[in-house]
Chain A
Amino acid sequence: MGKLVSKYIWESPVRITHWVNFLSILTLSATGIYIGSPKTLALTPSQYIMGWVRFVHFVAAYAFTISVLSRIYWAFAGNEYANWRSLVPYLYKEGRRNMKETFLFYTFFKSKPPHSLGHNAMAGTAYLSVFLLYIVMIFTGFALYSEHAPHSLVRTLFGWQFSLFSNQGMRLTHHCVMWLLLVFAIQHVYSAWLMEVTEKNGVISSIFGGYKSAPTKE
C-alpha cells in the first residue's frame, strides 16, 4: 500500500443532513415515546407540558422532513459518493463484488473489508431501506398530524393513506418504524466503529470533517 492522502468525500450537505437527521430522530423518538405513553407531570391544568412536547415533535418533524428531502436532492446533485448509485450496489458488477466481500468480512470469513471510499456496499444497501423507512415515517406522521385539520391541504396531501391503514394501524406503524430506526442507529454506530478500527480510514471523523484517508493509488 502506498502513501495515504486525505481525500474529501462527504460534502457539507451530506454531513449537515446527517446531523440534522441524528438530532431530529433523537428528539422525535423521545417526544414520540412521551406522546404515545405520557406520564402525568403537570400539577395544574394551566400547565402545557404535553402541548410543548407535541410542539417540539412537530418542529423536529419539519426539520427532519426538510433534511430528508435535501438529502434526496443531493443524491442527484452531489458528488459520486453522495450519489444514489451507491445505495443500489446490486445493480452493477463492482457493487455486487463489494457486497459479497463486505458480507464475508461481517461474517468473519475475511479479516479485511474491501476498500471503499464512500459507503461500503452493505451500508449503502441498508441506507436505502432506512430512507424508505424515513419516507414511511414522514407520510404516516403528516397523515396523523392532519387529523386536527380535516379540511386542510395537509389532509389532502396525506389523508389518502387512511384508505390503506386504519387510524390505529397507522399509529402502530408509526410506532414500530421508530423502533426499527432506533435499532438501525445502534447497528450504525457499531459498524462505524468496526470500520474505524479495521480499515483505519478515519470513517468516524469523516462525518464531522468530510475527509477520509485514502491510498494514493486508487
Chain B
Amino acid sequence: MDKTKEEQLDNQQNKPLKEPTIWEEKGISRRDFIKFCTAMSAALALPVTFAPKIAQALDEIKRPTLVWLEFQDCAGNTEALLRATTPDVATLILDILSLDYHETIMAAAGHQAEEALNGVLRDQKGKYICVVEGSIPLRDDGIYCCIGGKSALSIAREVCGNAFATIAVGTCASYGGIPAAAPNPTGAVGVKDAVPGATVINLPGCPLNPDNLTATIVHYLTFGKLPETDSHGRPLFAYGKRIHDACERRSHFDAGQYVEIWGDSAHRNGHCLYKMGCKGPETYHNCPTQRYNMKTSWPVASGHGCVGCSEPNFWDTMSPFYKRLPNVPGFGIESTADKIGAGLAVATAAALTAHGVISAVKKDKDTDEKMEN
C-alpha cells in the first residue's frame, strides 16, 4: 500500500517538472523505469553511471521496426519472451519497437500478415531489426520449411539481408540447434550460415534468456550499434564468462564435494554436479547470474547439470549429457577410456613379462651352450 502511494507521489512530483513520457502514459512509474535502466546497465556489464544514458535513449525512442520470423523451431523463445522478467517494461520495449510481424502473437493472418511483412520490406529497408527463431533447412532447396509458399531460406535471404541487423534468438537460429543434430535430415543451419551477408548477432540458449534480448535491443537504442561479440557471434556482455566461474556450486567443486548418484545426500545438499556430466566448465553464458523466469532459477540451481545448450552443435558435441567423458568410438558402449587404458597397460605388462621369461630361459640356454663349448 505504502509503495503504491509512494509511486503515485513520485509520479505527481514528476509531473510538474516534465511532460509525461511514453512510459508514464503506459502506466510505468519513473521509479520502475529507472530501476529497469539500472538493471539493463547491469545486464550489459556497464558501469551503473550508464543508467541515465540508457534512460535518455529510451525516452527519445524513435520506434524502430521489429519483425520476428519463425522457422524450424518450437516457439520456445517466443514463450520465454512472453514470460520476460520485467514484463511491463520488456513488452513495452517491443511496443516501442513496433513489432510489425510475429507469426505466433500477431492478430493478422494469411495475406494480411504477408502484407505486413512486405510493407516493412518496402518502407523500412535497411532500418528494421529482424529477429529469427528456429533453424533454416538447406537440403533439397529448402522445401522442409515453407511459409506462404516461400522457403525459409528465401524468406531469410530477403528479410535478414535487408535488415539493419538480425538477432538470432535461441540455439536453432544461431547454430542450427536440435534440427541440425546428426544426421541433420533437413540440412538445418543457423542464420549466419544461411545468409552469410547479413549482420547477425547470436543469442543462443534453449531458450534464450529474454533479459539478454532486451539488453541487446537496449544497447542498440542507447549506442546505435550492436554489442561486441565473441568468435561465435555472441554478445560478450552475456556470453563472455564461463558458467563454471559464476556457478553457485563452484565452492563444492574446488573443495572436492561431488554428487555421485541423483538424489544422494550430496545432491540434496547442493554439491557440485561435475561427475554427473555438468558441462559448466566448458560453456559460456550468464545463466548463473541472470537466471530465468523472474530470476527464479536456472538448470544447475535446480539440480541438473549444464548441457551446454548455448554452444554450437551442443546436441552432438556435449553428449553424453550425464557423463564426464564420451565413450571411445569403436568399443562397446560400456567401455570408458579409463577401462580401455588400464586394460592396455595390464596387457602390455603381461606381454613384456612373457617376453622377459622367454629371454631369461633363452639366455640360460645360451650360457649353457657356451659353457659346453
Contacts and interface: CB of A to CB of B under 8 A. Distances in A.
B290 to A, nearest CB: 18
Interface in B339-373: 340-342, 344-345, 348-349, 352, 355-356, 358-359, 362-363, 366
Contacts of B342: 179
A49 B254 CA distance: 6
Contacts of A40: 256-258, 260, 266, 271
A41 interface: yes
Given A108-B358, A148-B245, A186-B345, A45 B257 contact: yes
Contacts, number: 124
Contact of B366 (A44, A111, A193): A111
Interface stretch (B118-126, B139-147, B321-329): B321-329
Interface of A: 33, 36-42, 44-51, 53, 106, 108, 111, 147-148, 150-151, 166-169, 171-172, 175-176, 178-180, 182-183, 186-187, 190, 193-194, 197-198
Interface string B273-287: 011000101101000
Nearest to A41: B256
Interface stretch (B36-44, B107-115, B296-304, B310-318): B310-318
Nearest to B344: A183
B317 to A, nearest CB: 3
Contact of A172 (B256, B271, B313, B326): B326
Given A179-B341, A183-B344, A198-B363, A166 B255 contact: no
A189 to B, nearest CB: 9
A217 to B, nearest CB: 22
A50 B255 contact: yes
B230 interface: yes
Contact of A179 (B274, B337, B356): B337
From A38, A53, A151, name the one whose CB has the most chain B CB atoms within 10 angstroms: A38
A194 B255 contact: no
Contacts of B255: 42, 44-51
Contacts of A51: 254-255
16 contacts: A33-B338, A40-B257, A41-B256, A50-B253, A53-B256, A111-B362, A151-B230, A166-B317, A167-B282, A167-B317, A169-B326, A171-B324, A171-B325, A175-B337, A179-B344, A179-B345
Interface of B: 230, 240, 242, 244-245, 251-258, 260, 266, 271, 274-275, 279, 281-282, 284, 311, 313, 316-319, 324-326, 328, 337-338, 340-342, 344-345, 348-349, 352, 355-356, 358-359, 362-363, 366
Nearest to A171: B325
Contacts of B356: 190, 193-194
A70 to B, nearest CB: 28
A109 to B, nearest CB: 11
The 3 closest A-B pairs by CB, nearest first: A179-B341, A166-B317, A49-B256
From A41, A106, A183, name the one whose CB has the most chain B CB atoms within 10 angstroms: A183
Given A37-B275, A44-B255, A186-B352, A175 B345 contact: no
A147 B240 CA distance: 11
